[in-house]
Each structure stands twice: as C-alpha cells, then as structure tokens.
Structure 1
Amino acid sequence: MTLCLNIINHSVKLEMALQENLSVVLHAAGDLRLEQRAIASPRSHEVLLKINSVGICGTDIHFWNDGEGAGFAVNKPVTLGHEFSGTVVKVGSGVQHLKAGDRVAIEPGVPRDNDEFVRNGRYNLSPTCFASGLPPDHGGMCQYYVHDASYCFKIPDSLSFEEGALVEPLSVAIHACRRAEVKIGCKIFICGAGTIGFMNLLVAKAMGAAQVVICDLSSDRLKMAKEMGADYTLKVEKETAVEMAQKVKVALGSMPDITIECTGAEICMQAGIYATRSGGVLALVGLGHEFANIPILHALLREVDIRGVFKYCNTWPVAIDMLAAKMIDVKPLVTHRFALKDALKAFETTKKGLGIKVMLKCDPSHLGQ
C-alpha cells in the first residue's frame, strides 16, 4: 500500500509540475515577458524535454532590441532560445533511441521537407527548415519543450548540461572550420573574441592549426583568448582595414591561409580580404547588415575564396565526442548564470557585453550545473 501511495504521489507531483511552464516570450522589439505557456504533447516522432540550461546568443539580443535579426522578424509572440539542453520526460510512440531520463543536447534546426538540400546532406540550407527560437518557431527558453527526437543527442554523464547547451555554438565553429577547410599546419586569423570567435579558436587548434591570431575591441576578451590557446592577439582601436591586415601579417610572419570573420562588421570583412593570402579562404560567420562594401577586386585578383557559413550541418555527434574526449574545454566560456525568472537581468548582462556566455538555468534545482 505504501509503494502504491508513493507512485500516486509521484504521479501527482509530475502532473502538477507539467502544468507550470515558465517561458521567456518576446512580443515585439523591447517587449520581453515571462509567461506561463502551454505544454505541448509529443507526437509520435517527438520527445517532451525538461530544459536545464539555455545560452543567450547575440541573435537573441538583436531580436529583443530590434524585433528582427539574422533575416528573421518577430511578427507574433515567440519563445526565444536555440542553445539548450535538458532531460527527456516523455517519448512519442515511434521514438526508439531515447527514453525518459536521458540527458540530451538539442539541435534546433530541423528540416521539414525531404528536399534537394536534405537529400544532399546540407539540410541547414533547406528553406523550410524549422529553427527553434528563430521567429516564428518557438525555442527552448522555458521549463518544458517538445522537439523532434532525431535532433536530440544523448550526452554522457561526464558532460554537464551547460556543455550540452554549448554544443550549439560549438557546432557553428565546427561547420565554419569545415567550410574554411582548416588543415594541419595552417595559419588563421579570427575576427572577434566573442563566443563564436572563441569556439573557432578551440576547433581550429583541435583540427591542427599551427598559429592563430585573434582580434577584438576588448582587452579582457583578448587576455582570455590567449589563455585559451591563441598564439597572438590584436586589440582593435582606430585602424583601417588595410592597417589591421598588416598587423595580422606582422604577428603571423606571413599572411594567414584562412580568415574566419565572426563579427559581421564591415571593416572586419574588408580586413579579412586584405589579410588572407592569395588562394586562401575568407569564411563569413558573423551576421551583419544585408549589404556591405568590400574590396571585391582584391578577392578576385588574388583568388581569395569568400565562403558563407550558415548555422551547422551534421555536427552534433562530432561536437559531443570532442567534448567527451577532452579535445577542447568550453567550460570557461560560461561567465554568468541566472535563474529563468531573472531572464531580463540575464539579457541586460549580455547586452552590456559583460563576460562571455550568459547561461539561463531553467531548472531551479540545477543552478550550478
């Protein structure tokens, strides 16, 4: 009888918990609210997740400030969040590889159609791709969330939930370094020491880059970049793009084979073209304005390949394996943590550029994990 009562009590507690789903909802530019939202039931191919950790991205700040960003616009209320991890609570009838209790990192981009891009293995380019946290698709800044089970990846017990959430920006870097064709012994120039710049630094080094120079406006971030493996750092002040490129050449002793631009700033795109050696690659990762003035003739005459990088593709298993094998350490990037109820403070901290990665903790019992 006692066992039966315990099971009933547990069931009641779970049912009560599932009635509460505190969520960070953006209604329009500048209008960020904490609301209780309905919890969806997983369809046959989906799982219901209890979210633990969610990273705040620069794109989230753009949505909050401007009501748009990365080519997406807020036209109706949307739950933000695309860097997240959690625990499986319930599985759909057709899910075989996951069960309740599994800890997972979530890939937010899910193709809706089996179109030519999906068939060619580049599903990130599918125009109908679902994208968690990018309007109009709801994301993971909430307590409970439903997602396609095929895009939920188990993480080993050796990894924290925060590392699981950081698989998303790590995947951006893996995809960027693949697109740029980073090789053993190459020299690399990274523009921007934010989360994505740091991730590209770590991945490039893991892939065999011999020397990496990274630039930024912040001395504190450059100091951290040095601690995380950058060979050289350059503080950007009032240089022209040509002057920036010359400083990169002096630091490396030659022009870099590859430039990975992570800021979206026009001057950094210009510097990337001027700096990169003839026949090299400029990978554009940072999201800036729709149009930019760049010295295209310099790229043309010296055959500098300009390659776009959009999100990621087939990277989650690799990223998780790299973290589990201790090939890279992303833990130092998390500098601030806030409970979900303090989301506005977390957004303000990110907007001010304090620290590196601000993490929202959606499960009150796991604030330090």
Structure 2
Amino acid sequence: MSQTTTETGSNLSFILNKPYDVKFEERPKPTIQSPHDVVVAINYTGICGSDVHYWVEGRIGPFVVKDPMVLGHESAGTIVTVGDAVRSLKVGDRVAIEPGFPCRRCEPCLSGHYNLCIDMHFAATPPYDGTLAGFYASPEDFCYKLPESVSLQEGALIEPLAVAVHIVKQAEIKPGQSVVVMGAGPVGLLCCAVAKAYGASKIVSVDIVPSRLEFAASYAATHTFTPERKPAEENAARLLEEVGIPEGADAVIDASGAEPSIQTSIHVVRRGGVYVQGGMGKPDITFPIMTLCTKEVTCKGSFRYGSGDYKLAVELVASKKVDVKKLITGTVKFEDAEQAFKDVKAGTGIKCLIAGPNEKI
C-alpha cells in the first residue's frame, strides 16, 4: 500500500484556456499511477519566460495550447504520498521537482541524453498540465530531496539553476577561463554564477537594461557591457577591448535569444573557442557563418537539463557556491497569480514566486 498523510487541502489550479484567458479551477487531486510515483503538495512556483509566452501567445513553436492547461513548472513542495516501491523519499520530505520525465526507452534516453527524449512528459507543455496547483504527481527519481539548509523558496529556483548548469557544462568552462554571457535575465545571471563556481576568472554580463547589469555586477559578473545600436562586429570589438580579452573569450553563452546578441557572440568568442546557444528566439536568423568557420568555433545548442544537472544544482545551493535567494524579487499569494504574470511580462524584478494554494504567506 502507498504511504500518505491525512493532510487535506485544495487542488486549486491556475489554468490557461487561450492567450490572456486564465482561470482558477478546483481539480481532482492527483493519485499514484505507478508504485514508483509520489504526490507532492506544491509550496512555491517560479514564473518562467516560457510560462509567460504560453500566456501571451498560446504556443511555443510546435507546442500549441488546444485544451485548458495548468501553467507552471519551476516548483518545490512537500511529499504527501509515496508509492509502494519508493525508497529514497518519504512523506514529509521537502523536494525540488524536475518537471519533465522521459520514456526511458528511446535512443536519447538510453544514451544518457534524456532531455532529448522523443516522448518527454514536460509540465506546462501541451498536452501536459503544469505545477501551479495544490498537488502534483511525479516519478520518485525526478524529485530531489532538499537539505535542511535549503529553503522551499530556494528549491523553486533549482529548475532555472539546472538550466544554467546544463548550459555551462555544454560550454566546458574550466578554471581561469573567460566567459561572456549575453542576457542578464534569470538564466543568464545563473550562468554567470555557475561559471564562477566552475572557476572562471573573467565573467562578462551583457544586457541593454542598466538595472540588470547593476545586479549582475553585484551578483557574479566581474565585468558588464552595454551594447549599442551598431553592427555586431563593432560591439564585439568594443567589448573585447573594454574587458581586456583582445584574443576573444574562451566561451560565449547566449541566454537572450536575440539576433543581435547571437551575431555579436560569434565575433566575441576566440579562435577555437566554444559558443553555446541557451536562449530561444526567432526560428530563423541571419548568422555570421564565415566567422564561425574561420575561427573553428565549437557551436552547441542547450536544451533544458540532463543527467546529474538537478543534483548538481541542489549541491551548488546547499554548499553556498550559488546564492539563488538574491534573485527572488517577491512572493505573491496564489490568487494573485495572474498579476504576477503581468509583472514578469513587464520586466518587473528578476524572479517572482507564487505560493501554492495551501501555502500561507
């Protein structure tokens, strides 16, 4: 038999019907579908750019909201039910939830790249519901127990931190290297922090918003740079001169998805360096392919997170090597979720958390 608490609570859910059309609805509580599953009472959920994109556009690429969908995927909570076969978790454990679980059978899964699974079940990606609800069911091995030193609010930021961990792994950052990060949103800032934890000696944060660069400088960046409305090569040349890396950066990470940033990035990376595309933007852009070729740049994409990324993200927070608390701008009540989405869309703050309907703030 599964183990469960006697705790009762609301499974009030924040649901997107179509662009700008959301509602609160009490839904049935999820139940154990596999002996390896757990049910988590959601305490806190962060708002991601993809959540806002679904709210505004109703789709991201081929993923289209056709039926009402619960939003949210950056969550932490408390275990309330465990299946018969669950061994690593127990009722009452506080966990960060990895919001996507793979089929475990396809070639990407079997080769250790489950983030590329052809049948990924990812929260708040059609047709799957997200975590902005009272309760959420998940496989045991995609819930990560939080050490006592890590709060549930910090736990909700493990998801974007795991994204940054994966990007920095793709960039192959080594101690003493120089890194340029395009975009000072939450993921860009966390890329700076993870690069610092990996031992990068020069970390440059690039953005067009002064307040974000001010925060980046106080957070993990050693240098900041504001591009101008000039050709990419000119911005790249000025950046390299100002931060003192005339031969180019060892690694450049784009966490913005903006075409000018991507173009500038290829001119910033050194010969034989690494470029990682972490941000998503327009499906097609103009790209300096000749520069990429003549420099023999290693160019990689980065998608979500893979094996070991969530575990490392938890360890980085627990060891105080990455401070995610500084990114939390504020926490709102569940009934104010739509206003929180409006604030994020308007660029207010860095990371806003929504308390679960059973969490009192």
TM-score by length of 2: 0.95
Deviation, structure 1 residue 79: 0.7
Q: Does 1:183 align with 2:174?
A: yes
Determine if contact 2:266/2:292 at 8 Å carries over to the other structure: yes
Q: Does 1:280 align with 2:264?
A: no
Give per-residue Cα distances to partners, 1:188-220, cap 9 Å, x unaligned.
111000000010000000001010111112111
List 4+ stretches of structure 1 deviating above 6 A: none
Moved more, 87-96 or 347-356: 87-96
Partner of 1:219 in structure 2? 210
What does 1:197-212 align with in structure 2 at a 5 Å threshold? 197-212=188-203
Deviation, structure 1 residue 235: 2.0
Q: Does 1:266 align with 2:259?
A: yes
Query: Could you tell me which of 40, 59, 63 is aligned with 2:30?
Result: 40
- Secondary structure at the residue paired with 1:124? helix
Deviation, structure 1 residue 166: 0.7
Deviation, structure 1 residue 70: 5.4
Q: Does 1:353 align with 2:343?
A: no
Q: Does 1:90 align with 2:81?
A: yes
Query: What runs of 5+ residues in structure 1 fail to find an aligned partner?
Result: 1-9
Query: Could you tell me which of 290, 294, 314 is aligned with 1:297?
Result: 290
Distance 2:359 2:162 in 1: 28
Determine if contact 1:279/1:305 at 8 Å carries over to the other structure: yes
Change (3 A) 1:230 1:70: farther
Determine if contact 1:113/1:128 at 8 Å carries over to the other structure: no
Q: Does 1:341 align with 2:332?
A: no
Distance 1:68 1:269 in 2: 23
Deviation, structure 1 residue 139: 1.1
Q: Does 1:249 align with 2:243?
A: no
Distance 2:141 2:318 in 1: 20
Determine if contact 2:11/2:357 at 8 Å carries over to the other structure: no
Determine if contact 1:79/1:138 at 8 Å carries over to the other structure: yes
Distance 1:364 1:96 in 2: 26
Determine if contact 1:159/1:323 at 8 Å carries over to the other structure: yes
Deviation, structure 1 residue 336: 2.1
Partner of 1:21 in structure 2? 11
TM-score by length of 1: 0.93
Distance 1:35 1:178 in 2: 40
Partner of 1:30 in structure 2? 20
Give per-residue Cα distances to partners, 1:61-98, cap 9 Å, x unaligned.
11011111254221111111111000000111221211
Distance 2:136 2:46 in 1: 15
What does 1:48-67 align with in structure 2 at a 5 Å threshold? 48-67=39-58
Give per-residue Cα distances to partners, 1:91-141, cap 9 Å, x unaligned.
112212111100000111201241111111110011111111111111111
Partner of 2:135 in structure 1? 144
Deviation, structure 1 residue 363: 4.7
Determine if contact 2:115/2:305 at 8 Å carries over to the other structure: yes
Give per-residue Cα distances to partners, 1:47-69, cap 9 Å, x unaligned.
11100010000111110111112
- Secondary structure at the residue paired with 2:271? coil
Partner of 2:183 in structure 1? 192
- Secondary structure at the residue paired with 2:270? coil
- Secondary structure at the residue paired with 1:280? strand
Query: What runs of 5+ residues in structure 2 fail to find an aligned partner?
Result: none
Partner of 2:162 in structure 1? 171
- Secondary structure at the residue paired with 1:212? strand
Query: Could you tell me which of 317, 321, 342 is aligned with 1:323?
Result: 317
Aligned residues: 353
Deviation, structure 1 residue 243: 2.1
Query: Could you tell me which of 112, 116, 119 is aligned with 1:121?
Result: 112
Distance 1:172 1:247 in 2: 29
- Secondary structure at the residue paired with 2:339? helix
Distance 1:251 1:333 in 2: 27
Distance 1:60 1:338 in 2: 16
Higher helix share: 1
Q: Does 1:362 align with 2:356?
A: yes
Distance 2:18 2:205 in 1: 35
Determine if contact 1:340/1:361 at 8 Å carries over to the other structure: yes
Deviation, structure 1 residue 364: 5.0
Moved more, 99-108 or 233-242: 233-242
Deviation, structure 1 residue 180: 0.7
Moved more, 250-259 or 202-211: 250-259
Q: Does 1:309 align with 2:299?
A: no
- Secondary structure at the residue paired with 1:163? helix
